[in-house]
Amino acid sequence: MSETRGNLGKSYDPRPIEDKWYAWWLERRLFEGNPDAEKPPFSIVIPPPNVTGSLHMGHALNNTLQDIQCRYKRMQGYDVLWLPGTDHAGIATQNVVERHLANQGISRHDLGREAFVDKVWEWKEQYGNRIVNQLKKLGASCDWNRERFTMDEGLSKAVRAVFVRLYKEGLIYRGKYIINWCPRCQTALSDLEVEHQESSGNLYHVLYRFVDADGGVTVATTRPETILGDVAIAIHPRDEKNRDLVGRSVLVPLVGRVIPIIEDPMVDPEFGTGCVKITPAHDPNDFLVGQRHGLESIQVIDSEGKMNESAGKYCGLDRFEARKAVLSDLDSQGNLLRVEEHLHSVGQCYRCRTVVEPYLSEQWFVKAKPLAEAGVEAVKAGRIRFVPEQWTGTYYQWMEEIRDWCISRQLWWGHRIPAWSCPSCGHITVSETDPDRCESCGCETILQDEDVLDTWFSSALWPFSTLGWPEQTPELSRYYPTSLLVTGFDIIFFWVARMIMMGLHFMKEVPFRDTYIHALVRDETGQKMSKSKGNVIDPLDIIDQYGADALRLTLAALTVQGRDILLSTNRIETFRFFLNKLWNASRLALASLEGKTRDRRIEPLSLRLHDRWILTRLDEVILETTRDLDGYFFGEAAKLLYDFVWGELCDWYLEMAKPALRGEEGESRKETTQGVLCRVFESVLKLLHPFIPFLTEELWHAFNFSDRSMQEEEWPKPDGEEKGSPVCLEQMAAFQEAVRAIRNLRAEARLAPQKTAPLVRADLKEGLEPLFRENSDLLKLLCRIERFEITSRNAPSPGKSLSAVLPQGSFYLEVEGLIDIDAEIGRLKQEMDKLAADLERSRAKLANVQFVTNAPAEVVGKERERLQEGEARILRIKENIQSLSVGE
C-alpha cells in the first residue's frame, strides 16, 4: 500500500482511493468481532434495512453515526462488533414482488402460496444485497461475516421460541376484534402501521324515523355507507335533552331494520346531535358499545372494501361508490337533513396509502401492558438511556398508553404463525417444531394458521436473535446487552420499545445501554425528502460526485442533538472543500518532512511560541473531541476539528512554520518543526479518521506513519508535556491580534496584498517586548513588512503613518507618500467614540455598589482591567490625533 506514499495530486480526488481502502480493511479483517479477545467488548446491532431498500439519506446518516462510534471505539482499544443484516419487511417486500409479477401478468394467486414464497426468496437472493453493497460504499465497518436476515434459519427459530413461550404465558392470544384492515394489501395492520391524516370531509345529518310515531332522531355521521350495518342509536346516560328517547325504536333508513335507542357513556353529548349510530362491525368504538350491550355485528363491507350481500342493493359497490349511492338515496327519501363540512383524520395504510377500514376479524395479539411496564421500569432505573434525553418522555407516554399489538398479517411472506388448529376438536396446538397431530385429541389432520407475523415481531428480537439466541453462544454472553443503538425517532415505538420489552422478557436484561436518536434529514427548505416531491438527494449520487467522506463529514457536522438536518449540495461542497484543504495541508507537510515521519523527536528547547501554541491547542482538541464523541456530540466534534485544522493549523501554524521548514532558522529548528508537524498531523488524522476514514487512511500511508491501518492505531492522548500553557495561548492571541490589526491598516492604506510595506513601529505595553522581539521575523512575514521596530513613546510621523491602538500597544504603519490626514483622523475618532461608549458602560458598572459587592471578584477585576486598558488606549489615540493635527 506504499504506492501512494509521498505522491499526492494537486487536489483531492476520492474516486481512486475509496474502494481500494475498503477492500484492504476487509482483507485485514479489521471489522470482525472476536469474542475471545482480551479487549473489552463494544457492540452495536444495525437497524436492519429492508431487503427492498436502497440507501437513502436516513440510512446514510444512521450508519455514518454508527460507523463513527465503531471506529472510535476500535481505536480506543475495544473489541468492536457491529452486526449487520437486513429485514424481510413483510408487506413491503411482498408488494414489490407482486408488482414485479404483475408486469408479467401474473398474480400471486396464480402461483399459489408456496411458489410465490419461492419467488420472493429468488427476488431476495437477486436484489436483497443491494443495500448491503451501498453500506460498504459509505464505509460502514460492519462485521460482514456475521450478517443476518430476519428470516434466517436461526432467527426463525428464535421467532418460534418467543411465540410459543408468550402463548404459553398467556401473553399471546387469538380473538375476533375490530382491527385496521388495508383493503389493498389485504391484511390486518397494527395501530402503528396506520397513519392518520387530517382531511376535510363532510358530516352528514341523517334522520332515523321512529317506528311508532312521526318524527325521529337525527344522527351525524361521516360514513353514511355504514348505516346499512347499524344496530342501535346511542345517547349519553346523562344527556338530559335526549333522555326520553331511550327505549324507543327507530328504523334504519334504506334498510328498514328496527333498532333500539340505548345509553352509553362513550357518546359525547356535545358533539353533533348527541345521538350516535352504532355499527359494531365497522367502527372500533361501536364495537365496544356492541360488546357492552350484546348487540349483533352486521358486516356490510368485505375485505376488499366492497359492499357485501348484507348491503342489499349496494352489494358489489366499492365503499366510496356506495357512499355516494347511499347519500343520493337518503336525499331522495328525505332522510338527509343537512351536510356540514368537517375536518377529521383518516387512517391510511403506511405502505400503500389506501384508506384503512376498521374490520372485524380473527387475529393474534400480544398482550402489551405487562411487557411495557417492565420496559418503563428499566428506563426509569437508568438501565437504558435515551440521547437526547427528551425522547424518554415520548417513550413513556406511548408505553403507558400502550394497547395490545395485533401481530397477525394476512400475507404469504414472513414468519408463518406456529399454530395449528384441529378440525375435529377445535383445539389450537402451538409448537416450536411442526406437530403431526393435535395435542388435545390426537387428530392428524391439523392445519397450520395461514397468517404470518408482523415484520416487527422478528425485529423486536434482533439484539439477541442475531447473537444466536435461543442457543447460549459465546457471542450472546459477550455482546449482549449491546452498548449502543442508533436509530431515528420514527421507529421508537415500532422497534425500540418492542426490543426493550422482548429483551427484558427473554434475556432478563435490557437490549442496549444507550439509545441515540438521530435527526431526520430534510431538504434545504426544511421539507421532508420524498420521491413525490422530487427533492430527494440520493446519497449514492453524492458519493459518486463528492466521495463518501464528504457525505459522512457533512452529515456528522450537521448532527446537533435535538434538531433536524437540512441538507443541500451546497453544504456538502463546503465540507468537500475542507477535505481538499486537509489534502493540501498534508502535501505541504509531506514535502517539508523529507520522508522522515517515524520516531520524530521534538527538542523542547528549540520550540518557539507557535510550536508550543499548536501543541497546546492540539491537546485541548484531543480532549474535547474525545468528550464530544463520548457524549454523542457528533456535530460539535466535527466542527471543532474543522476549525482547528483550517483556522489554526493551516491559517496560522503552517504559515509560521514555513521558514523553519525551509531551513531558514537552522538545522535544529527545522528538525523540531518537523517533529511538531508529525505529532500534529498524526493526531489530527486519527481524530478525523472516524469521520472521514478513506481520506485519512490514504494520508496516513502517504505520510508513512505506520504500515497498519488507522483502525489499528491508538486514539490520541494529550502528551502531558509542559508547554508553557496557558501562557502561550495568551501570547499567541496577543500576537495574532497585532498581526490582524496591521493587516487591517494595510487594507486601510489600500496596499496591495503582495506589496511589501516598508516599516511598522510598535510602542508596546510593558512586558510584551520580548514576545514581539522574538517573533518579529514572523510578524514581518505574516504582515508583509520590510522592517519592524520596537520603540517607546513613539508618536506617529505626521502624514506618513496609520496607527492601530490595541491593548498590547500601538502599531504604526508607515506608508509611501502621504496619507489622507483627515480620513485618518476621522477613522481614529470613530474608533475612539466606540471605545468611549464601551468605557462608559464599564464605569457605570463599576460605580454600581451592588455589582462590586455581589459579582465574583474575578469578574469585577476583569472589568477594572478593561476600564484601565481602555482609558490608556483612548489617551494614546488622542495623542495620535493631536500629532496628526499638528503636522497639518
Partner RNA sequence: GGGUGGUUAGUUCAGAGGAAGAACGCUUCCUUGACGCGGAAGAGGUCGCAGGUUCGAGUCCUGCACCACCCACCA
Per CB under 7 A, contacts with RNA among 683-742 are 740
* Contact between residue 551 and residue 543 where contact means Cβ atoms under 8 Å apart: yes
Give the Cα separation of 792 and 809 in Å (integer). 10
Query: 3-class SS at 544?
Result: helix
Q: Which of 100, 257, 385, 658 binds RNA (CB under 7 A)?
A: 658
Longest dimension (CA), the chain: 119
Q: Which of residues 401-430 bind RNA (CB under 7 A)?
A: 401, 403
The footprint of RNA on residues 75-104 (CB under 7 A) is: none
Nearer to RNA, 156 or 801 (CB): 801
Q: Give, in order, the Cα–Cα distances in Å from 472 to each of 28, 34, 467.
A: 29, 16, 9
C-beta of 191 vs 449, nearer to RNA: 191
Q: Rule CB under 7 A: which of 319-338 touch RNA?
A: none
Least distance in angstroms from the C-beta of 273 to RNA: 7
CB of 322 to RNA, least distance (A): 15
Binding to RNA by residue 109, rule CB under 7 A?
Answer: no
Q: How many CB atoms lie within 10 A of CB 681?
A: 23
Site track for RNA across 247-276, x = CB under 7 A? -------------------xxxx-xxxxxx
Q: Where are the beta strands (DSSP E) in 367-504?
A: 385-387, 405-406, 408-409, 419-421, 428-430, 447-448, 452-453, 482-488
Kindly state the number of chain residues that form the binding site for RNA, as judged by CB under 7 A: 92
Residue of 654, 687, 738, 764 that binds RNA (CB under 7 A): 654
User: Which CB, 434 or 630, lies closer to RNA?
Assistant: 630
CA distance 588 to 646: 14
Q: Which of 40, 442, 562, 631 binds RNA (CB under 7 A)?
A: 562
Angle of CA points 573, 576, 582, to nearest 5°:
145
Nearer to RNA, 145 or 397 (CB): 397
Minimal distance, residue 246 CB to RNA, in Å:
15
Min dist. Cβ of residue 401 to RNA (A)? 6
- 441 within 8 A of 403, measured Cβ to Cβ: no
In the region spanning residues 383 to 402, those forming contacts with RNA, defined by CB under 7 A, are 390, 393-394, 397-398, 401
Judged by CB under 7 A, the residue of 113, 353, 563, 601 near RNA is 563
Q: How many residues does the chain have?
A: 888
| From 752, 818, 847, 886, residue interacting with RNA (rule: CB under 7 A) | 752
- Quick one: 740 or 773, whose CB is closer to RNA? 740
Q: Which of 839, 877, 881, 884 is in the footprint of RNA by CB under 7 A?
A: 839
Nearer CB in complex with RNA: 87/636: 636
Q: Please state at what angle helix 113-127 crosses helix 90-103, rounded to 10 degrees.
A: 100
Assess 585 for contact with RNA (CB under 7 A).
yes
Residue (28 or 324) nearer to RNA, CB? 324
Q: Of the two residues 186 and 569, which places its CB atom closer to RNA in the complex?
A: 569
Which burial class, exposed, middle or buried, applies to 777 when counting CB atoms under 10 A from its CB (0-12, 13-18, 19+)?
middle
* Distance of closest approach, residue 27 Cβ to RNA, in angstroms: 29
Nearer of residues 567 and 884 to RNA, judged by Cβ: 567
Residue 284 is placed in which grid cell?
372500533
Please check whether residue 42 is in contact with residue 80, taking contact to mean a CB–CB distance below 8 angstroms. yes
Binds RNA (CB under 7 A): choice among 3, 570, 767, 793? 570
Residues 632-651 interacting with RNA (rule: CB under 7 A):
636, 639, 643, 646-647, 650-651
Q: Are 219 and 273 in contact (CB under 8 A)?
A: yes
In the complex, what is the shortest distance from the CB of residue 142 to RNA, in angstroms, rounded to a whole number? 29
Nearer to RNA by C-beta: 285 or 473? 285
Query: Would you say 526 or 817 has its CB closer to RNA?
Result: 526
State the minimum distance, in angstroms, from the CB of residue 654 to RNA. 4
- Within residues 222-251, the interface with RNA by CB under 7 A covers 222-223
Residue 60 or 795: the one with the smaller Cβ distance to RNA is 60
Residue 110: is it exposed, middle or buried by C-beta count within 10 angstroms (0-12/13-18/19+)?
Answer: exposed
- 786 binding RNA? (CB under 7 A): no
C-alpha cell at position 254:
334504506
Measured N-to-C along each axis, helices 634-643 and 609-630 cross at an angle, to the nearest 10 degrees, of: 170
Selected range binding RNA among 297-305, 329-337, 343-351, 688-696, rule: CB under 7 A: 343-351
Strands 41-45 and 79-83: parallel
Please state, in angstroms and as integers, the Cα–Cα distance from residue 354 to each residue in 288, 345, 638, following that order: 25, 14, 43
| C-alpha to C-alpha distance for 105 and 806, rounded to whole angstroms | 82
**Residue 153 parent element (H or E):** helix 153-168
Shortest separation between residue 605's beta carbon and RNA, angstroms: 26
CA distance readout (Å), 698 to 12, 588, 613, 784:
11, 15, 28, 35
Backbone angles phi and psi of 318, in degrees to 5: -65, 150
Q: Is 105 in the site for RNA (CB under 7 A)?
A: no
Contact 229, 312 (CB under 8 A): no
Beta bridge partners of 518: 488
The C-alpha atoms of residue 442 and residue 741 are separated, in whole angstroms, by 96
Q: Identify residues 499-558 at the interface with RNA (CB under 7 A).
A: 524, 526, 528
Q: Residue 529 is which amino acid?
A: M
Say whether 57 sits in a helix, a strand or coil.
Answer: helix
Fill in the per-residue mask, 178 to 197: x = in contact with RNA (CB under 7 A), - = not in contact: -------------xx---x-
Q: Give yes or no for residue 1 binding RNA (CB under 7 A).
A: no
In the bound state with RNA, the residue whose beta carbon lies nearer, of 102 and 339, is 339
Positive or negative: CA dihedral 782, 784, 787, 792: negative
Q: Which residues pair with 801 in a beta bridge?
A: 814
Instruction: Tell me if 613 contacts RNA by CB under 7 A.
Output: no
Cα separations (Å) of 187 from 90, 308, 318, 354? 11, 18, 18, 12
Kindly identify the residues of this chain, within the stretch 587-606, that bind RNA according to CB under 7 A.
Answer: 587-588, 591
Rg (CA), the chain: 37
Nearest-10 Cα torsion for 162, 165, 166, 169: -170
Tell me whether residue 248 or residue 581 sits nearer to RNA (CB atom): 581
Q: Is 866 in the site for RNA (CB under 7 A)?
A: yes
Least separation in angstroms between residue 762's CB and RNA is 17
747 part of the interface to RNA, by CB under 7 A: yes
List the one residue from 119, 351, 576, 800 that touches RNA (CB under 7 A). Answer: 576
- Least separation in angstroms between residue 37's CB and RNA is 36
Q: Map the footprint of RNA across residues 2-61, applying CB under 7 A.
A: 10-12
